[in-house]
Amino acid sequence: MLKLLWRTLRLLFSIFLITLAHIFVINFFPFPFNHINITVSLLILFLTIFPDKKIIWLGLAVSYFSELFSSAPFGIGMAATTISLWLISWFQLNILTNRSKYMVLLSLLLGVALYRILFIMFLSINNYFSHREILPYKQIVADVGWEILLSSVIVFLLYLIVFKFLKHLNSSSMKGEIMYG
């Protein structure tokens, strides 16, 4: 029972932190850094480090709470996030089977690009059926370019730092085991 409570609290805390980080970046960072998509990038990074289907469910929950603060029609972000995470998970399991640094960067680039393409496609379909004006595609292409580039590079650098730190911790613990074991 306590284990279930701990996992639930950890899940809620993760959802809260990811949503808060995404809102903070969008509202307080200057252009072009406010285009960093923390939500999708971190979820793809989690999916890369921990290849588990629970990350897709975490993505659904995080995107639900992000939708509450979004100006886009409800459900578009959730659908784009869930589909892109599912496709990247399949891509990592079947095509990018090794977790080298280059494959992590490629996964991040493809994941953020896929998310944004799906989001724009769903938004265009919604605007078409709602008889709204056409999206400004020149501005969208520029913004998407910044988002893909900055999101992928920043989260890749974060991955390298975490990877180095974990590698250092593992080597320190191994030395301790060899010396004292």
Residue 32: cis peptide before it, omega within 30 degrees of 0: yes
Is the entire prediction scored with pTM above 0.85? no
Mapping DSSP onto H, E and C, the string for the chain reads CHHHHHHHHHHHHHHHHHHHHHHHHHHHCCCCHHHCCHHHHHHHHHHHHCCCCHHHHHHHHHHHHHHCCCCCCCCHHHHHHHHHHHHHHHHHHHCCCCCCHHHHHHHHHHHHHHHHHHHHHHHHHHHHHCCCCCCCHHHHHHHHHHHHHHHHHHHHHHHHHHHHHHHHHHHHHHHHHHHHC
For residue 31, how many other CB atoms are within 10 A of its CB? 8
2-180: CATH number: 1.10.1760
Q: Give the amino acid at 29.
A: F
The pLDDT of residue 170: 66
The pLDDT of residue 172: 53
Distance of CA 117 to the CA centre of its chain: 15
Mean pLDDT of the chain: 86
At residue 53 the predicted structure's pLDDT band, cuts being 50, 70 and 90, is confident
* Percentage of the chain modeled with pLDDT above 90: 41
